[in-house]
Amino acid sequence: MKFDPASNIQDLLQFGEFGDVNPSITDSATYTFMEAKTMVDTFTGEEEGCFLYSRHWNPSNRYLADAMAAMEGTESAWVTASGMGAITTAILQLCNSGDHIVSSITTYGGTFAFMANYLKKFNIDVTFVDITRTDEVEKAIGPNTKMIYTESMTNPLLQISDLPVLADIANKHEIKLVVDNTFTPMMMAPAKMGAHVVVYSLTKFVNGKNDCVAGAICADAEFINALADVNTGSAMLLGPVLDPLRSSGIHKNLHTLHIRMKQHSHNALFLAKKLEESGLRVIYPGLHSHPQHELMKQLMHPDFGFGGMIAIDLKTSEKASSLMEAMQLKGVGYLAVSLGYFKTLFSNSGKSTSSEVPDEVQEEMGLSEGLIRFSVGLDQDIDRTWDKIRECLQSLGYL
């Protein structure tokens, strides 16, 4: 039977303590115990199912975590106060001083900076590779390697990671495959393809409103319980707890994700085809010109399309800036970072969300200074949107 993330979420029966159709929001930092021994047993881990303190667990976050686990097909999940909170917490739970990570060189700028700069504090080394060359990945693994890290669809070059092959490599070397699935919720199911840990920025497509930041870690129950351990758990001790009010809002938005992803993908494919027909260099996995187009077709859930992210290359940052400014004035969308919003967002990746990556590394990975990353919105009339983009391109002499 085909994995069905939307139905898995739909099948959850999560209601409030008074029969509310929306789960109750638990606005409390600490929880009462009727017997002192129960509190002691909860601290030592001998008692399960009790809420202790909201940095450890709270009911609202549990509802969202259970829904994320259902969507990903994992035993359990944990939610955090940001996507970077999820990424850093997962990495620090898996790695100790002297360990080594093999990571995709093309990855979100914040993740790159954490791995290339911050982990040096802990004597944790990282080797960055072209994740599409799985032979390079395997060659980079050493005796102290603890994980392979990648994104299902890399930011901002939209490369597709061959997750089943990477999982086989990880299992062969008895290490973990950690996958950021932020760009491809519902479209890709990394855990079903062998990933051991799946991380998210819920800020993006999952929430879809750009009104808060949040993250999630999806994995087996053993790993999630280890994160929450009061003595050694990275989530418990570093404290990246998500506010329950925000958690409740994201949980409600998650139930419309399957509808939104279809529209994001529909609109992005339409624009990608139009831009390519106009003679521009376009990166989009739904185009036959994309080098991993066939791989994407093999890995994706066909109901949700090729995603809402497009990149075009105008060669120079000056041209990119002039087009983005023109599109904003024309009403195409906003010149802003982030993605997954109901309106189209666009930014010059090398000067914004990938600016932490040194210029020479950007050049090595093939990131042009004129690359514009589009997060295509939920526009009802995408023909109308294309007309606006075409007018901007023509007015600037780019067509």
- Tell me, what's the pLDDT at 1? 57
Range(s) for CATH 3.40.640.10 in the chain?
5-254
pLDDT in single tens digits along all 399 residues of the chain: 578 999 999 999 888 778 889 888 988 999 999 999 988 888 877 777 788 888 988 999 999 999 999 999 999 999 999 999 999 999 999 999 999 999 999 999 999 999 999 999 999 999 999 999 999 999 999 999 999 999 999 999 999 999 999 999 999 999 999 999 999 999 999 999 999 999 999 999 999 999 999 999 999 999 999 999 989 999 999 999 999 999 999 999 999 999 999 999 999 999 999 999 999 999 999 999 999 999 999 999 999 999 999 999 999 999 999 999 999 999 999 999 999 999 999 999 877 767 788 888 888 888 889 999 999 999 999 999 999 999 999 999 998
Question: What does residue 302 show for φ and ψ, rounded to 5 degrees?
Answer: -65, -20
- Domain 258-395, architecture per CATH: Alpha-Beta Complex (3.90)
Classified by CATH at the fold level, domain 5-254 comes out as Aspartate Aminotransferase; domain 2 (3.40.640)
- Tell me, what's the pLDDT at 361? 82
Range(s) for CATH 3.90.1150.10 in the chain?
258-395
- Tell me, what's the pLDDT at 310? 98
